[in-house]
Chains A and B, each alone.
Chain A
């Protein structure tokens, strides 16, 4: 491995680690608007990683994906979420299913699990991004964990988007991204999911005077 590619590989790893770090920040954050900001930041790191990979490998289509990430996940979606938060008039998440210290500990455990699982696979890879696979899996798991730990619909939405970021990082790490058409489809899906979740949160507020998804249990007969 030449020195420049080694350097590139390390840069990719660095960016991935920043992504993971922002995950922890989201888990530790009570304020909803800060969560959304952190998500935007994470998406920015993701776009940087993607651009870096595109630069290092010369796969042009990853640039497109990076640009789309910036447009949709850094600009559009956070804006929608902020609007929702403004309208809802809730700024903090006071009650959680799992409190923050315990949540952080579990997230730490999840990272270990992710590394443990990917350990046998990573040496088989030959791409310069292969180490990011473990980080990507950790981000997916933490995203899912966020959805479980939090009660407010907005943070659950953020958790879902974090998972999506993890999946994106994973595909970039494992195979330099999916074919562009799939990528475009996924972006469109995420955007629509964001819109639907926004509307659904409004409805939830109207119906229950709260965006606490635990209230949904009353729907059971």
Chain B
């Protein structure tokens, strides 16, 4: 295990340094991405090893800086996240080997690869850190490296603004995390996580609640919970696609890790019911608003970014439900909620990274992110299309895919709220379940749009017409994640025991025997009688039903000649202008949720001079109001700028005035001290 850890660190470090030692882009490319991939492979082994280890692996390197110890600890929770990060890291590195050719000449490939290695290393260290100070340092390194990666193409319009926005939000979040750790450190006198989780040094009641909120805000800003999610739809599309995959797939998951670490580990699961309820409400809000805005987005990568907000919300639903059950001592249900949340975490990492890689492939082939300009790509890019379809079906939570299993488990844990003792929660949890159901339906519409309008029908732009399939390395990277998605969906009997090892130390009970009935072929929270589902059987049934239909059709067709002809277009030749557009597709939903979207539609027409029955040309504008940005962030920005404008008065630009400020401050301070 220590060897694996050393290999992992060495790979990432070499990958960080070596590419900068040569100047040939192709060599830089292979060096950087092969070491990142090797590090990812080592990380997968390390994660699995950590999950099965009897004792957590600990490592500690003291330093000269006070309070700082470079302490690492690989317990099951950390191991699970190392596994997730490394899986996506491996796929993204292989993918990047092909993808960075896009950047040759414009951006230093060596630097990009080196930063990728640093980013992967810092994420791995974040979940391994066992010292608050060390955690904050690697957390900050992770944030800064991701910022640098976001602004890779800083010469493109909007990218720098996106980077700056991200930087501000992430630093505000870090400030709250620092506050959380300081509260603990003040009470325990040490920054080591060992001291934080020590039962003798518990925080006083009031401070506990403050720490709860600071942790929720601090980690929430990184995870992208509503209303702190505003940076995601700017930063994720701006970054190169394999970086977006890492940011959306795993970086925001380090925040989920942080929340679980603080709530279940440091607080040892000792919290009032309203903590769990707050997390649950935030999750429900994020899930619903995330998917609603994702639906309206026509930029494929922004759509995926909003969808990440939705999925973080779903993960928090599982964790929140787990927290509520834990408060009332229903440990098995708590373990179920937490397990469902973690299951969705790794699922989302796999399919969201896959979809971002797919979006990157479309960008690579067509050089646009606008869904309106795609169309007909399935025929031109069959491999990308298949992988994207697997990702889209998984994220839309259609059976028998991975998204379905985890969302189903979250539903089950919400329904089991009947066992709670208070009426309020008994009423609220089913309402949350209803919100989750609405989210699921809208998510399905969203990805039907994302896949259908991109890949089906005829190309709507010349770029899409001339698109060709992407290089092999990119296909392998996507294929790896597509396989993982399928495996996570079809084999819950392999995944649940692993997750149970993570939740068992946190909740004190192991539930994998109960959840997996009939030798693991059936997933059944609590009892088989209440509800149960078997993914392999479901998959077999679906495939079987399809096969049966085909067989019947073939049987009935016997004797009749097959006739091949063009699609009927009412007598006219089919053109792309007849297609359903992305705007048209979501129009009904826009109408239904008018209150939230507040759409404005503007139609400008210019008529011929001779007759107004003939239109020379017309323009159609349709926009929706970003409510949260407008009513929550805009006032803050305006107030800040206003204050800065007023403070400008003392910044007159006169040297003498500045000297006078210094002089007066000096004299007054001296007098005050004297």
What is the interface of chain A, defined by CB distance below 8 A to chain B?
97, 110, 113, 116-120, 137, 141, 144-145, 147-148, 151, 156, 213-214, 216-220
Contacts and interface: CB of A to CB of B under 8 A. Distances in A.
B659 A216 contact: no
B662 interface: yes
User: Chain B: interface residue count, which band?
Assistant: 10 to 19
A220 B657 CA distance: 13
A213 B656 contact: yes
Contacts, number: 47
A103 to B, nearest CB: 13
A205 B666 CA distance: 31
A144 B663 contact: yes
B659 A147 contact: yes
Contacts of B654: 214, 216-217
B670 A113 contact: yes
Interface centre among B651, B652, B660, B666 (most CB of A within 10 A): B660
Contacts of B652: 217, 220
8 contacts: A113-B671, A116-B671, A117-B673, A118-B674, A148-B663, A214-B656, A218-B653, A219-B653
A15 B653 CA distance: 39
Contacts of B671: 113, 116-117
B674 A120 contact: yes
Contacts of A116: 671, 674
B656 A148 contact: yes
Contacts of A151: 656
Given A117-B671, A120-B674, A144 B666 contact: yes
A217 B670 CA distance: 30
A145 B663 contact: yes
B667 interface: yes
B653 A217 contact: yes
Given A144-B662, A148-B663, A214 B655 contact: yes
- Nearest first, the 5 closest Cβ-Cβ pairs linking A and B are A220-B653, A117-B674, A217-B653, A213-B655, A148-B659
Contacts of B653: 216-220
Nearest to B654: A217
A148 B651 CA distance: 16
Contacts of B663: 141, 144-145, 148
Contacts of A218: 653
A137 B433 CA distance: 72
Given A97-B656, A110-B667, 14 more contacts: A113-B667, A116-B671, A116-B674, A141-B666, A141-B667, A144-B663, A148-B656, A148-B663, A151-B656, A156-B655, A214-B654, A216-B654, A217-B654, A220-B653
A148 B666 CA distance: 14
B656 to A, nearest CB: 5
A159 to B, nearest CB: 9
Nearest to B661: A148
A117 B668 CA distance: 11
Interface in B620-659: 651-656, 659
A217 B662 CA distance: 18
A162 B654 CA distance: 22
A116 B674 CA distance: 8
Nearest to A114: B670
A147 B660 CA distance: 9
B667 A148 contact: no
A137 to B, nearest CB: 8
A74 to B, nearest CB: 26
A142 to B, nearest CB: 11
Contact of B660 (A110, A118, A120, A148): A148
B668 to A, nearest CB: 10
B641 to A, nearest CB: 15
Contacts of B660: 148
A219 B651 CA distance: 12
B670 A117 contact: yes
Nearest to A141: B667
B467 to A, nearest CB: 47
A117 B656 CA distance: 25
B670 A216 contact: no
A137 B666 CA distance: 11
A213 B659 CA distance: 12
